[in-house]
Structure 1
Amino acid sequence: MVTATVWNEFRHEREDDAVREQYPDGIHEAIAEFLSDHGFDTRTATLDEPEHGLTEEVLAETDVLLWWGHAAHDEVSEEIVDRVQERVLDGMGLIVLHSAHYSKVFKRLMGTSCSLKWREAGERERLWAVEPSHPITDGIDEYIELPEAEMYGERFDVPAPETLVFSSWFEGGNVFRSGCCYRRGSGKVFYFRPGHETYPIYRQPEIQRVIGNAVEWAAPSEGPDPAYGERDPLEPLD
């Protein structure tokens, strides 16, 4: 069974009535609940726990880490960023959600500013599946309609994705690369844009299906462990 850990700052839900109304137990618990329903072994971790809830033991047991952050990126310790990066390079999957594009972890792995345009106007979004044969789009229609969303717009300052799975159109005219796949070391990384804290986007079945598919895709495979450094020859050398 794939083990997924859902990480969240868990600040907005405690401080903002509009967010608490949407996610009274926290965004992390809402995501963990539907991932459990999808059959994953799921746990949660939050910023204010010791070591942000991401101890070496927790990460060692995690196949896929999901990261949601917004208001407190700077409070994440460099030690934990190093720890997460090392686990991704070793094969742990990472799903980066919505405003976590600005997280220290994602910026470290991308090597860029990860900046973008944004606008909070509750506008309609169409999330187009531009790579319909990809495992992350399994069971999804050609597009997902989001009645209200925060706009993220190009230019999105990230490396060109190895696979672009979703592309968004917004009512105000902007477009955005909303589903980006990367590999870093032995690990898979998926950035997925939908999920602003004041809209019930994580309650939408299609969005839940995409995130569940992404966890399956990002989970470590059972391939060989690569060896590095100086090696003896496999055959005799003259």
Structure 2
Amino acid sequence: MNGELRILVWNEGVHEANNEPSHIGEMYPGGIHGAIAGGLRSHLPEADITTAVLADADHGLSEEVLAETDVLLWWGHIAHAEVGDAVVERVHRHVLGGMGLLVLHSGHFSKIFTRLLGTSCSLAWRNDGQRELVWTVKPSHPIAAGVESPIVIPEQEMYGELFDIPDPDDLIFISSFAGGEVFRSGVTFTRGKGRIFYFSPGDQEYPVYHHPQVRRVLANGVRWAAQPDVVRSAPAVTNPARDWFDGAKQH
């Protein structure tokens, strides 16, 4: 992989602005996006890592910013509807053109994720702060490199099946919960030229993004999703010249 990776961590930032839950400022003093970015910097010290939030102009996702982004990480929860459709269209176009996308936790309901997958992306959930075990089921995948199995997360919101997503390209992690539920917590997709990784651990009420193994997974996900040498252009309908086909018939 040539050159410096350019990574943008996006978070709606609403929980932090409203101090809800009340301990979020103590748990994530730099915001959820700050904690995610800090974890990435510890694993990817040569990368150019920036952050943006919903309240920024263009949500921090202007054409110029996206054109200079190799991988976008997306965390959202209570403000999905506030993300502008023009911004979603812009992000969608860049993913199809080859920008990597990591969708985190409740970002499963984001406009960009549901548009890319074409399903409701709904799931079962309950939040009583019980243990989550994240089991690696495809250890050969680069995103699983060096990751403990299981990752033990002492407190976490439960996400459970049925998770209404298309069949993923790769199923890398499955989570189990103290209540007996299971969930496809780490899956990949390809849309156009873009690589997408969804990873569910990371609720705003718990310090999951400080967990060293979760940080490793996200760094691995960024490395996998990044394609800095790919020429950024969305797939398009073409009308090739017939000369090529006529010439091919002569050989």
TM-score, normalisation: structure 1: 0.96
Aligned: 1:134 with 2:141: yes
Q: 1:173 aligns with which of 162, 180, 187?
A: 180
Q: Secondary structure at the match of 1:141?
A: coil
- What residue in structure 1 maps to residue 223 of structure 2? 216
Aligned: 1:47 with 2:54: yes
Is the Cα contact below 8 Å between 1:14 and 1:20 reproduced in 2?
Answer: no
The 5 A counterparts of 1:68-217 are: 68-217=75-224
Q: What is the CA–CA distance in structure 1 between the aligned matches of 2:5 and 2:237, rounded to whole Å?
A: 27
Q: Secondary structure at the match of 2:52?
A: strand
Q: What is the CA–CA distance in structure 1 between the aligned matches of 2:26 and 2:124, rounded to whole Å?
A: 27
Is the Cα contact below 8 Å between 1:3 and 1:61 reproduced in 2?
Answer: yes
Q: What is the CA–CA distance in structure 2 between the aligned matches of 1:79 and 1:124, rounded to whole Å?
A: 39
Q: 2:11 aligns with which of 8, 11, 33?
A: 8
Q: What is the CA–CA distance in structure 2 between the aligned matches of 1:9 and 1:141, rounded to whole Å?
A: 30
Shift of 1:228: 4.5
Is the Cα contact below 8 Å between 1:179 and 1:190 reproduced in 2?
Answer: yes
Q: How many residues align?
A: 238
Is the Cα contact below 8 Å between 2:172 and 2:186 reproduced in 1?
Answer: yes
Percent identical residues: 53
Shift of 1:41: 1.1
Structure 2, unaligned stretches of length 5 or more?
none
Q: 1:26 aligns with which of 28, 31, 54?
A: 31
- In the TM superposition, what whole-angstrom CA distance separates every residue of 1:195-234 from its partner, at most 9, and x where no partner exists? 0011111001100000000000000153577774011243
Q: Secondary structure at the match of 2:23?
A: helix
Q: What is the CA–CA distance in structure 1 between the aligned matches of 2:107 and 2:90, rounded to whole Å?
A: 17
Q: What is the CA–CA distance in structure 1 between the aligned matches of 2:176 and 2:163, rounded to whole Å?
A: 14
Root-mean-square deviation (CA), in Å?
A: 1.5
Q: What is the CA–CA distance in structure 1 between the aligned matches of 2:123 and 2:101, rounded to whole Å?
A: 21
Structure 1, unaligned stretches of length 5 or more?
none
Q: What is the CA–CA distance in structure 2 between the aligned matches of 1:20 and 1:110, rounded to whole Å?
A: 33
Shift of 1:142: 2.3
Shift of 1:117: 0.5
Is the Cα contact below 8 Å between 1:46 and 1:52 reproduced in 2?
Answer: yes
